[in-house]
Chains A and B, each alone.
Chain A
Amino acid sequence: KQEVTQIPAALSVPEGENLVLNCSFTDSAIYNLQWFRQDPGKGLTSLLLIQSSQREQTSGRLNASLDKSSGRSTLYIAASQPGDSATYLCAASDSWGKLQFGAGTQVVVTP
């Protein structure tokens, strides 16, 4: 059974610092790896999706890497802003698109 772990569980940084969020998974036979953002009381917003054949994806200040052999993905957020404060979730997908989620990293960016 796939298990997804996110470290750290919580992170607080001053504005302008870069954020590094880690995700590990036990079964390397994933179809893709998706990063989401969740704001309090709201649903999930998809940030980046990395297919199993890819090594990384970039969107603006966000960059996500994927190393299937070691079972790891990392989300980098450059030059953090207070608006980046949220919970970040990673999820590993099987071939049916079924997602196994990590517990999330709660991020606070202080002005």
Chain B
Amino acid sequence: GAGVSQSPSNKVTEKGKDVELRCDPISGHTALYWYRQRLGQGLEFLIYFQGNSAPDKSGLPSDRFSAERTGESVSTLTIQRTQQEDSAVYLCASSLFTGLLPEAFFGQGTRLTVV
């Protein structure tokens, strides 16, 4: 596609429910990243994929968070047993990682509200 696409754009869920957030990267981009931005705070790194492997999961805040990626395509971030502190905008980025110019392009984000 023309850009990074994320769905849904907004999600309201009840505390304790599981949610899945989807990211469709730019076609051909091998690297995919998930970030989180809580209200009034900066962006926090969550996880990085190169292809369908995740060499860096260091930013996942707890074992309630997991992510997977199908080949070099769509990625899903799953949050189990959501808590109110999970409320944030979740941003996905992709890059054509050639080792020379890994410029990141971001999607519009999914705004998650846990009530």
A positions within 8 Å CB-CB of B = 31-32, 34, 36, 41-46, 49, 51, 89, 91, 93, 95-104
Contacts and interface: CB of A to CB of B under 8 A. Distances in A.
Q: Classify the interface of chain B: helix, strand, loop or mixed.
A: strand
Given A32-B102, A46-B105, A102-B42, A97 B31 contact: yes
Nearest to B43: A101
A67 B42 CA distance: 23
B55 A51 contact: no
B104 A99 contact: yes
Q: Which 3 pairs of residues, A with B, have the shortest CB-CB distance? A: A97-B102, A44-B106, A43-B108
A31 B42 contact: no
Interface of B: 4, 31, 33, 35, 41-43, 45, 48, 50, 55-56, 91, 93, 95, 97, 99, 101-109, 111
A93 B102 contact: yes
Nearest to B48: A98
